Chain A
Amino acid sequence: MRLKYLILGAAFAGLVSVDALTTKADAQDSIYVPLLTYRTGPFANSGIPLANGMRDYLVMLNERDGGIGGVKLNIEECETGYDTKKGVECYESIKGKNPTVINPYSTGITLQLIPKAAVDKIPILSMAYGLSASAVGEKFPWIFNPPATYWDGLSMIFRYIGGKEGGLDKLKGKTIGFIFLESGYGREPLPLLNQFAKDYGFNVKEYSVAGKEMQDQSAQWLSVRRDRPDWMIMWGWGAMNPTAVKRAAENGYPMDHFVGIWWSGSDDDARGGGKEAKGYLSLNINGIGDNYPALKDIKKHVVDTGKSQVDKEKFAENLYNRGIYNSVLIAEAIRNAQKLSGKKVVAGPEVRRGLESLTISEARWKELGLSGFGAPITNVSCADHNGHHSAYMQQWDGAKWVKISDWIAPMKDKVRPLLEKDADDYVTKNAGWPKRTEPCDKSS
């Protein structure tokens, strides 16, 4: 009996030591890129294409280029189910593995991680989501949210609406409906919306959709029918989006006056509405379709070799491309970090510097095989962790998204002062918020 335990114990100890050695070897030879994703749960319809796009671009870099700067990327997914509690658990389980950057992929999770990032020295990249005020680098040195904040998104939507109405001053006396997921994410743009209502003299009607009501929404759309808003703006996610598009079509709401933020513009969101969804609008920050050399490389090195989880017919759909966009930001930040630190294997503190000097010019997008895929990223700096870059409007033609506008710049002059005030409020409310001690690199 004792011998049996002895053998089992020795085998266990052997396994542990081999595992420890392997982990150590991995840590020395690769760059650890954790991805918080959700392929399960009520929001999986939005989470799956994002996860596939993010992962496939990074895998392509490993397969085609041998990683970044000659160092392989160690990519690991952690399933959050879009659940804040699980997201924080994921963070706690990976923070000890020298992560380069955390992508929470949920505003709720981001809000929980913001106070932890500075303590653990791990940068958070909440790409075009999260706390808008975290764009203020002086107050949030470890949080980044390029290319645009939700408030920028709202201002771009208003630029578009203003263009259609013949000027923002023409909004006076009109009604703007705002339908949103009842969550931190959905409520994020409300302060700016109310400010715009004061500035331009329109009325706001809010339609809140609780998570449990995502697949019903009949009461909300009945209210829309009563209130007859001139324009509807949506901040939805997951199953809320296709249901809202469907209800709008059923209620005969003019689809070309219904605009979603960039997270309400996946192919599945519009497709669910059938032919009647034709005309639905959504902002977008990334290119659509597969007509980019980098996407052809992903197809060749990842999809066709069976290393991807994407369904072939869903390859290069909008949210898949959004995932690619996210991973381009990660990869470029890692490249910057290698350049700035002189190290090949980089971790959180170096990548924070890399993010703070993130630049992707038009020429660089082209070099990456993604010409015109995103607006040039030129404004991220020590003080500005967002950059307030442009997006464009796309429209559903009944079968696919079509780009219908040029790049629309946000109203930075309106957004930035409000962000700074909000950042100050955040710091005041969180007594003992640490002062920034991180130095700025010359390039940033």
Chain B
Amino acid sequence: MDILYKVLIDPFAQMVAAPDLLVQTLWEGLVGGMLYALIALGFVLIFKASGVFNFAQGIMVVFAALTLVGLHTAGLPAFAALALTIVVMFALAWSIERIVLRPLINQPDIILFMATFGLTYFLIGFGELIFGGDPKIMITEELYLPKGRINIPAFGGIVSLQKLDIAAAIIASAMVACLSVFFSKTRIGRALRAVADSHKAALSVGISLEQIWVIVWFAAGLVALVTGIMWGARSDVSFALDVIALKALPVLILGGFTSIPGAIVGGLIVGVGEKIAEFYWGPLIGGGTDSWFAFVIALVFLLFWPHGLFGEKIIERI
């Protein structure tokens, strides 16, 4: 009986007794979810264009953030370093297309997937060679990202909002909106969807596969840069950030691999779900639920929506 009370009654009683903490948990979940969504977005962009799960997205986040901090440390002003990092991400996208993807056109997806594994290990080694393994501090102030917190008295307590988290939520939302418009309303966006459906068919109607891939990998690089800045500002910039990318997997399962809105909604559900679960139910089993609870949510959704909430339903003739 006691365990039933602890599982079914007590957490809800806590929510009612301390609504400020509930709001705080929801806020933390939404911010975390938005940042997960950013990572997931990088995966979605490349999956849409090539049908390939880009295993290297996590290390691209690290590489972009390290490049930014490294260039600034080398003496460049923050915004010059930011501009040059964008150039570096374009060069990376172009190089990936020329060296890795072009020779693999029309190869099975699994070959392209394995190529992204190779790319991951190359970027880890190359990044460590150039920047070393030491953690770096993100140039938050130099980029005029806000610091400190806003304490809002609410529900008999205080809801504390980090200014950086507010900025992260706004920047992430703006980025998602821009990308959604770009890929749904422009000619390039339509070409991208054609490439995703069939390389051969897209080539036959004159779409340049090379150009599309460079654009998409560059867009994924930009997303990685923004993700790296935000996560780096919340913690530090080190190769440990690579691990964060794993959190995008349940988001993708939940939202669908091909949907930008799916990445956002999936990210928010995972972010809020795992924080609520850890905060209210985690202590019952010794905590640490946030490392696996997202996958439980994803599995539950899979039972009812096998293609994810917004994924394309593919019906194949057999």
Given A45-B135, A48-B133, A246-B235: A219 touches B240 (CB 8 Å cut-off): no
Alpha-carbon distance A219/B290, docked complex (angstroms): 8
Q: Which of B221-249 contact A (CB under 8 A)?
A: 231, 234-236, 238-244, 246-247
- The CA of A215 and the CA of B32, in the complex, are separated in Å by 11
Stretch of A7-15, A205-213, A357-365 at the chain-chain interface = A205-213
A43 within 8 A of B: yes
Q: What 5 pairs between A and B have smallest CB-CB spacing?
A: A44-B133, A210-B291, A208-B288, A42-B240, A239-B240
Closest to A309 in B: B132
Closest Cβ of chain B: how far from A2's Cβ, in Å?
36
Indicate if the CB atoms of A209 and B288 lie closer than 8 Å.
yes
Residue of B nearest to A221 (CB): B28
Contact of A242 with B236 in the complex, beta carbons under 8 Å: yes
B2 at the binding interface (Cβ < 8 Å): no
**Interface SS majority for chain B:** helix
Contact A208 B240 (CB under 8 A): no
18 CB-based A-B contacts, threshold 8 Å = A40-B133, A42-B242, A206-B286, A210-B292, A212-B291, A213-B288, A214-B240, A215-B243, A222-B24, A223-B283, A225-B24, A226-B18, A239-B235, A239-B236, A242-B135, A242-B236, A246-B235, A272-B235
Interchain CB contact under 8 A, B133 and A39: yes
Cβ-defined partner of B238 (8 Å) among A44, A205, A250, A271: A44
B197 CB to nearest A CB, Å? 34
B142 at the interface (CB under 8 A from A): no
> Which of A47, A206, A243, A271 has a CB less than 8 Å from the CB of B235?
A243
Contact of A42 among B128, B243, B274 (CB under 8 A): B243
Q: A212-B247, A311-B134 are in contact. Are A239 and B238 (CB under 8 A)?
A: yes
A210 and B290 contact, CB distance less than 8 A: yes
- Chain B contacts for A43, CB-based, 8 A: 240
From A210, A215, A242, contact of B244 by CB (8 A): A215
Closest Cβ of chain B to A308, distance in Å, is: 13
Closest chain B CB from A388 CB (angstroms) = 29
Whether the pair A222, B236 counts as a contact (CB closer than 8 A) is: no
Given A47-B133, A242-B235, 4 other A-B residues pairs in contact with their CB atoms under 8 A: A39-B133, A212-B291, A218-B31, A311-B134
> What's the minimum C-beta distance from A76 to chain B, rounded to whole angstroms?
19
Kindly supply a per-residue 1/0 record for chain B positions 1-32, scoring 1 wherever the CB is within 8 Å of any chain A CB and 0 otherwise. 00000000000000000100100110010011
Which B residues lie within 8 Å of A246 (CB)?
A: 234-235
Indicate if the CB atoms of A45 and B278 lie closer than 8 Å: no
In the complex, chain A residues whose CB is within 8 Å of the CB of B149: 250
Instruction: Please state if A182 and B288 are interface contacts (CB–CB under 8 Å).
Output: yes
Instruction: Give the contacts of B280-318 with A (CB-CB under 8 A).
Output: 282-283, 286-288, 290-292
A268 adjacent to chain B (CB < 8 Å)? yes
* B32 CB → nearest A CB, Å: 6
Q: Within the complex, what minimum Cβ distance (angstroms) separates B226 from chain A?
A: 16
Complex CA–CA separation, A114 to B160 (angstroms):
47
- Whether B115 sits at the interface, judged by CB under 8 Å, is no
Chain B 133-171, CB-CB to A under 8 Å as 1, else 0, gives: 111010000000000010000000000101000000000
The answer on a CB contact under 8 Å between B236 and A219 is: no
Min Cβ gap A242→B in Å is: 5
Closest to A41 in B: B239
Contact A223 B239 (CB under 8 A): no
Is B243 within 8 A of A222, CB to CB?
no
Q: Is the Cβ of B274 less than 8 Å from the Cβ of A219? A: yes
A194: CB under 8 A from chain B?
Answer: no
Q: Given the complex of chains A and B, what is the CA–CA distance between A355 and B132 in angstroms?
A: 34
Interface residues on B, range: 35 or more
> A216 at the A/B interface (Cβ < 8 Å)?
yes
Task: Give the contacts of A251-290 with B (CB-CB under 8 A).
Answer: 251-252, 268, 271-272
B residues near A (Cβ < 8 Å) are 18, 21, 24-25, 28, 31-32, 124, 128, 132-135, 137, 149, 160, 162, 231, 234-236, 238-244, 246-247, 274-275, 278-279, 282-283, 286-288, 290-292
Contact of B160 among A40, A42, A205, A251 (CB under 8 A): A251
Residues of A participating in the B interface, judged by any CB pair closer than 8 Å: 39-45, 47-48, 182, 205-216, 218-220, 222-223, 225-226, 238-239, 242-243, 246, 250-252, 268, 271-272, 311, 314
Most chain A beta carbons < 10 A, residue from B133, B231, B241: B133
A40 lies within 8 A of B239 (CB): yes
Chain B, residue nearest A271 (CB)? B137
CA distance A287 to B137 in the complex (A): 25
Q: Are A219 and B133 in contact (CB under 8 A)?
A: no
The distance in angstroms between the C-alpha atoms of A223 and B288, with both chains bound, is 12
B174 to chain A, nearest CB (A): 22
Nearest CB on A from B260, distance (A)? 23
Minimum CB–CB distance for A323 against chain B, Å? 14
* Nearest-CB residue, chain B, relative to A217: B235
Residues on the A chain within 8 Å of B162, using CB: 250
Partner of A222, one of B124, B132, B244, B275: B275
Is there contact, CB below 8 Å, between A208 and B287? yes
Give Cα distance in the complex from A207 to B31, angstroms: 21
Interface hub of A41, A216, A219 (most chain B Cβ within 10 A): A219
State how many angstroms separate the Cβ of A175 from the closest Cβ of chain B. 13
Residues on A with beta carbons closer than 8 Å to the beta carbon of B21: 222, 225-226
Closest chain-B Cβ to A92's Cβ sits at a distance in Å of 22
Which residue of A212, A243, A314 contacts B134 across the interface (Cβ within 8 Å)?
A314
Cβ-defined contact, B288 with A48, below 8 A: no
CA gap between A220 and B282 in the complex, in Å:
10
Give A350 to B231 CA distance when docked, in angstroms: 49
What is the bound-complex CA distance between A239 and B235, given in angstroms? 8
Please state if A214 and B243 are interface contacts (CB–CB under 8 Å).
yes
Q: Do B124 and A223 touch (CB < 8 A)?
A: no
Asked whether B25 lies within 8 Å of A220 as measured between CB atoms, the reply is no
> A239 — which chain B residues lie within 8 A by C-beta?
135, 235-236, 238, 240
- Residues on B with C-beta less than 8 A from A206 are 286-287
Instruction: Name which residue of chain A comes closest to B141, CB basis.
Output: A274
Name the A residues within 8 Å of B133 (CB-CB). Answer: 39-41, 44-45, 47-48
Closest to A238 in B: B240
Cβ-neighbour of B282 out of A45, A211, A223 (below 8 A):
A223
Q: Is the CB of B279 within 8 A of A219?
A: yes
CA–CA, A251 and B160, complex, Å: 8
